[in-house]
Chains A and B, each alone.
Chain A
Amino acid sequence: MLQAINREIELRASEIQKYTIETIYFGGGTPSVLTVDEMHSLISTLGGTVSLDQVVEVTMECNPDDLNPDYLQALLNETMVDRISIGIQSFHDPHLKMMNRAHNGAEAGQSLEQIFNAGFEKVTADLIFGLPDNDLSIWQSNLARLVEFPVSHISCYGLTIEPNTALKHVIDKGLIDMPDESAARDQFYMTQEFLASKGYEQYEISNFCLPGQYAVHNTNYWKQVPYIGIGPSAHSYNGRERRFNVANNSQYLSAINRGIDFWETELLSESDRYNEWILTGLRTKWGIDGSDAQQYSLNIREEFDDAVKKSIHAGWIEESDGALCLTKSGKVLADYVISSFFYV
């Protein structure tokens, strides 16, 4: 696989060289199964293709169960990785079990300790709320436990029940109850209040950070900055089209080996780009600047103004310094509000 990924970098060299690389993100599953040497070789292939001088953030996604102090130490000292994203999800064992996680609550805490002991300063952790049988106190203790560590960045995701998952299956069988929507909303509100009291700023619906510690990589997604994704299931974006590599590992490998296309592309229409601007912009604390709507050659003036008026009236959106931003009650209904702005 590593070979194939290196090969993809070579194949796309001219495309990659068009850009100044600002961030690198090793994600999608468990890149932490790679040895430090392997990480090193991957980064040097990239470095041989394009200059990495301007890189300000190199993140690696990890699971609590595949970390150890030596590994972390080597990662920080011998590679460019300077930021860890750790999939904590919960400190509560029954919930971890429900979500089929390999780690338990104690291990989650240990892994955080190890990360900080190794010397990482940029650390983001994620937690999941809105689980079945989840009461407010469990959620609060999760948050409280996490902020005992000096994590600079926190992502809190509301659970979504995806089709064809084990969780969906047990819910369908009636073994556990569907998560309660009001409870999830209350937990969302609590997250906002609690983390604010600890100095974290909610700069995107699901993302919180200590002052200035935004995830540069993720923030770029929301600002329509181009990116290149390498590897199976990775996606790329060049401002006009989005490209999806095949998700299936063996298909990816065989396509790379046989030199045939291993991706699909989606050309974004004007309305697609407009809708994505709304979708990503409104979710952030920076909001959207209403006058930017005119940059899209769509006949939307009236509809846009109408949607703004309605959302302001409903208390979902407020205008500050020329930007339109979701309010507290707008944030829990973000999808609802956003789609009302869409051009279809």
Chain B
Amino acid sequence: MEKIRNFCVIAHIDHGKSTLSDRLLEYTNTIAQREMKDQALDSMDLERERGITIKSHAIQMRYEHTDGEIYTFNMIDTPGHVDFSYEVSRSIAACEGALLLVDASQGIQAQTISNLYLALEHDLEIIPVLNKVDMDSAMIEEVSDEIIELLGCAQEDILLASGKTGLGIENILKEIVDKVPAPKGDPDAPLQALIFDSVFNPFRGVIAYYRIFNGSIKKGDLIRFVHTNNAYTADEVGVLQMDTIPHKQLFAGNVGYVITGIKESKEIKVGDTITHHENPSKLAVKGFEDVKPMVFAGIFPIDNDDFEDLRDSLEKLQLNDASLVFEPESSAALGFGFRCGFLGMLHLEIIQERLSREFNQEVITTVPNVSYVAYLTKDPSDGLVINTPNDLPDPSKLDRVEEPYIQAQIITKPDYIGGIMNLCLDKRGHLTKQVYLSQGRVEMTYELPLAEIVFDFYDRLKSISRGYASFDYAPLNYRASDLVRIDIRLNGEIVDALSALVHRDKAEYIGRKICKKLKELLPRQQFVIAIQASIGAKIIARETISALRKDVTAKCYGGDISRKRKLLEKQKKGKKKMRQIGNVEVPQKAFLEVLKLQD
């Protein structure tokens, strides 16, 4: 156990975690040279295309220390985007140390701080790494000062590194041995292993990743999950390298996987403790707080017949993404689907994309909203949770509605303070604190309604600050809000899936924007389409889409045929993803796009 080190790599988004991980894997020959590719741990297609890490990735390495001893490293590369901080917190629970990376050209950013705090809460040993020092724009001194200020560490504690050139890699590996404490635990005690992640493999079922705190687990053991209280045989146990590597037995302090033939998500819960059926541990490891979704949206199959398949896919996806929650819901316009909770808009987008790619499920995602609490006049102390616009009670019966507020940390250059203040004012926020981290960087703390930041906040922040602002937030409390529901009618018929919950002050503006946006998004048809936004019976905005009177290409000879075919094929593909509502065809993406009010 003294020869094991468990650590994670944490940082703000894009500060180079996955690239630095590549170098560590390379140095320790965990990946053969010929199999090496950039951000090798980002194995999902979506991660590679978008160049971001979505899911934490655990991997074991063997490192020969300067003292000649071989050490086992269990490393977890984590995502940096705020929507995936649940991945970070689960990874942290399996480790004793963390490499905290800071991009030398960017300095401390919002998620540098929030992820650091997550690690400190779990008493991890922090190794600060000043990364990307190869860059011309690296500000080694300034950023070192920021790190010293933040951590209270000494200049010598900060390791300089570049995941690009490989500078400082050996040093980092050495420091991990010297600084990160070896895991503690009793290999002879009853088994206690924390499940920190799981993946679904269509051939092998669920693969659970765990960290053993006490005892040992071996192939063939009869094991039990404390929370679900189900018992299974450990068909295979082993460690995680680029592949799963089976082992006979794993002991306290190590990180590994187990396959038990579980195929369903409800049988296993990330955060649960694995113990033995016979001689169980009395205590469960402290698991994770249940994730609190920030945004809710309906997910509906394009074709109603696919409802059961969609449920199946969501359950499988949940095995890969413990932060996804869902329950059945029905809509007059869209039929049966699911109300899903997400950690943010990027998370929502990723889930929709994964459903399409990994499960071949084309879905319609409805207008997203945050979760409100409504109090009725007849019982003003008992709150009803409102996760969908249709659940909002009739205004005449309402005592009040409360909406979630968050505390936001925005780190920026002083030049942009004015613009950011205007943005936050527009977003109904108020400034509670403003401190200078260094001469060139200021941290602003705001209280804002969550609803205002999930939609269309981050993009505006980025453009106002020309990219020089980072942002992090945490739930604060619920506060009274003047909430109204905007209904959208297409040719007179209310389309419940397009309804949106908004603050009254903004209702008219948003109603107009939604109508405009729909006018762009809905394809023209052979009849006029009237789009109206209303609050109750009162129409607040309207647009009209004129009828399609002529749709015919003039020339169709030789090469035109191929061009025209491709164009019409594209149209037909788009059509296949539309949903007929009344007599109007609504494209799949329309529901999600309506609240993108920027352009």
Binary interface profile of A, 48-62, with partner B (CB < 8 Å = 1, else 0)?
000000000000000
What is the CB-to-nearest-CB distance from B360 to chain A, in angstroms, rounded to a whole number?
Answer: 15
Complex Cα distance, B526 from A218, in Å, reads 31
From B29-37, B97-105, B502-510, B566-574, give the one contacting chain A. Answer: B566-574
Contact of A342 among B548, B554, B559, B568 (CB under 8 A): B568
Task: Name the residue on B nearest A206 (C-beta).
Answer: B554
- Given known pairs A221-B558, A279-B561, the reply for A332 and B568 (CB within 8 Å) is no
Q: B428 an interface residue at 8 Å Cβ cutoff?
A: no
Q: CB distance A157 to B555 under 8 Å?
A: yes
Q: B378 an interface residue at 8 Å Cβ cutoff?
A: no
Residues on B with beta carbons closer than 8 Å to the beta carbon of A221: 556-558, 561
What is the CB-to-nearest-CB distance from A242 to chain B, in angstroms, rounded to a whole number?
Answer: 6
Q: CB distance A229 to B549 under 8 Å?
A: no
Question: Quick one: which of B475-489 are within 8 Å of A by CB?
Answer: none
Complex Cα distance, B449 from A2, in Å, reads 72
Binary interface profile of B, 168-197, with partner A (CB < 8 Å = 1, else 0)?
000000000000000000000000000000
What is the CB-to-nearest-CB distance from A246 to chain B, in angstroms, rounded to a whole number?
Answer: 13
Residues on A with beta carbons closer than 8 Å to the beta carbon of B573: 344
Q: B550 an interface residue at 8 Å Cβ cutoff?
A: yes
Task: Name the residue on A nearest B562 (C-beta).
Answer: A242
Binary interface profile of A, 216-258, with partner B (CB < 8 Å = 1, else 0)?
0010011000010100000101000010100000000000000
Q: CB distance B576 to A344 under 8 Å?
A: yes
From A65-73, A76-84, A179-187, give the one contacting chain B. Answer: A179-187
Question: Quick one: which of B525-567 are within 8 Å of A by CB?
Answer: 526, 546, 548-559, 561-562, 564-565
Q: CB distance A336 to B551 under 8 Å?
A: yes
Contact of A334 among B549, B551, B575 (CB under 8 A): B551
- Given known pairs A157-B554, A275-B568, A339-B572, the reply for A280 and B561 (CB within 8 Å) is yes
Question: Quick one: which of A91-141 are within 8 Å of B by CB?
Answer: 130
Complex Cα distance, B568 from A221, in Å, reads 18
What is the CB-to-nearest-CB distance from B527 to chain A, in angstroms, rounded to a whole number?
Answer: 11
Q: A288 an interface residue at 8 Å Cβ cutoff?
A: no
Q: A153 an interface residue at 8 Å Cβ cutoff?
A: no
Complex Cα distance, B585 from A336, in Å, reads 14
Residues on A with beta carbons closer than 8 Å to the beta carbon of B568: 275, 279, 335, 338-339, 342
What is the CB-to-nearest-CB distance from A310 to chain B, in angstroms, rounded to a whole number?
Answer: 12
Q: CB distance B559 to A335 under 8 Å?
A: no
Counting residue pairs across A and B whose Cβ atoms lie within 8 Å, the total is 97
Q: CB distance B572 to A206 under 8 Å?
A: no
- Given known pairs A235-B559, A339-B575, A344-B569, the reply for A333 and B554 (CB within 8 Å) is no
Give chain A's interface residue range (CB within 8 Å of chain B): 35 or more
Q: CB distance B550 to A158 under 8 Å?
A: yes
Binary interface profile of B, 325-349, with partner A (CB < 8 Å = 1, else 0)?
0000000000000000000000000
Q: CB distance A344 to B572 under 8 Å?
A: yes
Residues on B with beta carbons closer than 8 Å to the beta carbon of A276: 561-562, 565
Q: CB distance A335 to B553 under 8 Å?
A: yes
Q: CB distance A160 to B550 under 8 Å?
A: no
Q: CB distance B549 to A332 under 8 Å?
A: yes
Q: A6 an interface residue at 8 Å Cβ cutoff?
A: no
What is the CB-to-nearest-CB distance from A186 to chain B, in angstroms, rounded to a whole number?
Answer: 9
Q: CB distance B561 to A205 under 8 Å?
A: no
What is the CB-to-nearest-CB distance from B123 to chain A, in angstroms, rounded to a whole number?
Answer: 56
Number of residues of chain B lying within 8 A (CB) of chain A? 25
Binary interface profile of A, 321-344, with partner B (CB < 8 Å = 1, else 0)?
000000000011111101110101
What is the CB-to-nearest-CB distance from A14 to chain B, in angstroms, rounded to a whole number?
Answer: 22
Task: Name the residue on A nearest B571 (C-beta).
Answer: A339
Q: CB distance B559 to A242 under 8 Å?
A: yes
Question: Quick one: which of A144-160 are within 8 Å of B by CB?
Answer: 157-160
Residues on A with beta carbons closer than 8 Å to the beta carbon of B569: 275, 339, 342, 344
Q: A302 an interface residue at 8 Å Cβ cutoff?
A: no
- Given known pairs A242-B559, A280-B561, the reply for A334 and B576 (CB within 8 Å) is no
Residues on A with beta carbons closer than 8 Å to the beta carbon of B557: 218, 221
Highest count of chain A CB atoms <10 Å: which of B553, B561, B565: B565
Q: A272 an interface residue at 8 Å Cβ cutoff?
A: yes
Complex Cα distance, B571 from A160, in Å, reads 18
Task: Name the residue on A nearest B525 (C-beta).
Answer: A336
Residues on B with beta carbons closer than 8 Å to the beta carbon of A275: 565, 568-569
Residues on A with beta carbons closer than 8 Å to the beta carbon of B546: 181
Q: CB distance A333 to B551 under 8 Å?
A: yes
Residues on B with beta carbons closer than 8 Å to the beta carbon of A242: 559, 562
Complex Cα distance, B568 from A69, in Å, reads 44
Binary interface profile of A, 157-191, with partner B (CB < 8 Å = 1, else 0)?
11110000000000000000000011011001000
Contact of A188 among B550, B553, B564 (CB under 8 A): B550
Q: CB distance B552 to A229 under 8 Å?
A: no
Q: CB distance B562 to A333 under 8 Å?
A: no
Residues on A with beta carbons closer than 8 Å to the beta carbon of B549: 181-182, 184-185, 332
Residues on A with beta carbons closer than 8 Å to the beta carbon of B565: 272, 275-276, 279
Residues on A with beta carbons closer than 8 Å to the beta carbon of B559: 235, 242, 244
Task: Name the residue on A nearest B564 (C-beta).
Answer: A279
Residues on A with beta carbons closer than 8 Å to the beta carbon of B561: 221, 276, 279-280
Residues on B with beta carbons closer than 8 Å to the beta carbon of A333: 526, 548, 550-552
Residues on A with beta carbons closer than 8 Å to the beta carbon of B554: 157-160, 205-206
Complex Cα distance, B558 from A331, in Å, reads 20
Between A and B, 14 residue pairs with Cβ closer than 8 Å are: A130-B550, A182-B550, A188-B552, A205-B554, A235-B558, A235-B562, A242-B562, A275-B569, A276-B565, A283-B556, A333-B548, A334-B551, A338-B568, A344-B573
Where the two chains meet, the residues of A that have a C-beta atom closer than 8 Å to any C-beta of B are 130, 157-160, 181-182, 184-185, 188, 204-206, 218, 221-222, 227, 229, 235, 237, 242, 244, 266, 272, 275-276, 279-280, 283, 314, 331-336, 338-340, 342, 344
Where the two chains meet, the residues of B that have a C-beta atom closer than 8 Å to any C-beta of A are 526, 546, 548-559, 561-562, 564-565, 568-569, 571-573, 575-576
Q: Which 5 residue pairs of A and B lie closest in terms of their CB atoms, listed nearest first?
A: A157-B554, A339-B568, A334-B552, A235-B559, A185-B550
If A182-B549, A331-B552 are given as contacts, then 15 extra A-B residue pairs at C-beta distance below 8 Å, sorted by A number, are A160-B554, A184-B550, A188-B552, A204-B556, A205-B556, A218-B557, A235-B558, A242-B559, A275-B568, A279-B561, A280-B561, A332-B552, A338-B568, A339-B571, A344-B572
